[in-house]
Amino acid sequence: MISNVTRRSVSRLLVVTAIALAGHVTTATAADVTAINFGIIATDSSGALKKNWEAFLGDMEKNVGVKITPFFATDYAGIIEAMRFNKVQVGYFGNKSAMEAVDRADGEIFAKMIRTDGTEGYNSLLITHKDSPYKNLNDVIKHTKDINFGIGDPNSTSGFLVPSYYVFAKNNINPKTDFKTIRGANHIANFMAAANKQIDVATFNTEEYEKMEQTKADLVKNIRIVWKSPLIASDPFVWRKDLPPNLKVKLKEFMLSYGKGAKAAEEKAKIAPIPAGGFAASTDDQLIPIRQLAFFSAKIKLENDTAMDAAEKNKKISEINQKLDALNAKLASAK
- The CATH number given to whatever domain includes residue 299 is 1.20.58
Out of 199, 232, 265, pick the residue that ends a domain.
232
Which H or E run includes 236? strand 236-240
Please check whether residues 178 and 325 belong to one and the same domain: no
What pLDDT, on a 0 to 100 scale, did the predictor assign at position 335?
A: 62
Q: Which pLDDT does position 113 carry in this prediction?
A: 96
Same domain, 224 and 254: no
Considering the domain architecture, whether residues 181 and 224 belong to the same structural domain is answered as yes
Q: How many CA atoms lie within 13 A of 128 on its CB side?
A: 17
Same domain, 14 and 30: yes
- Structural domain including 91 reads 4-119+234-285
Residue type, 183: R
Do 214 and 255 lie in a common domain? no
| One domain for residues 299 and 265 | no
User: Do 187 and 224 belong to one domain?
Assistant: yes
What's 213's domain CATH number?
3.40.190.10
**What pLDDT sits at residue 126?**
98
Q: Which residues contact 217 (CB under 8 A, 6 or more apart)?
A: none
* Whether residue 191 sits in one domain with residue 131: yes
Looking at the structure, do residues 74 and 103 belong to the same domain, yes or no? yes
- Give the CA angle between residues 291, 296, 300 to the nearest 5°: 155
pLDDT of residue 8: 36
Which of 216, 227, 156, 160 is closest to 192 using CA atoms?
216
pLDDT of 181: 97
Q: How many CB atoms are closer than 10 A to CB 58?
A: 12
How far apart are alpha carbons 91 and 49 in whole angstroms? Answer: 13
pLDDT value of position 4: 39
Q: Are residues 162 and 223 in the same domain?
A: yes
Q: What gap in Å lies between CA 21 and CA 37, rounded to an integer? A: 14
The number of distinct structural domains making up the chain is 3
Per-residue pLDDT of the chain (335 residues; tens, 9 = 90+): 444 334 334 333 433 333 334 444 444 455 578 999 999 998 889 999 999 999 999 999 999 999 999 999 999 999 999 999 999 999 999 999 999 999 999 999 999 999 988 988 999 999 999 999 999 999 999 999 999 999 999 999 999 999 999 999 889 898 989 999 999 999 999 999 999 999 999 999 999 999 999 899 999 999 999 999 998 999 999 999 999 999 999 999 999 999 999 999 999 999 999 999 999 999 999 999 899 888 988 888 888 888 999 999 999 999 999 998 898 888 777 66
Question: What stretch of H or E contains 225?
Answer: strand 223-228
- 140 and 197 part of one domain: yes
Chain-centroid distance of CA 137 in Å reads 25
What is the C-alpha to C-alpha distance for residues 88 and 72, in angstroms, rounded to an integer? 10
Model-level pTM?
A: 0.76
Question: In terms of domains, do 240 and 105 share one?
Answer: yes
Cβ–Cβ < 8 Å for 91, 39: yes
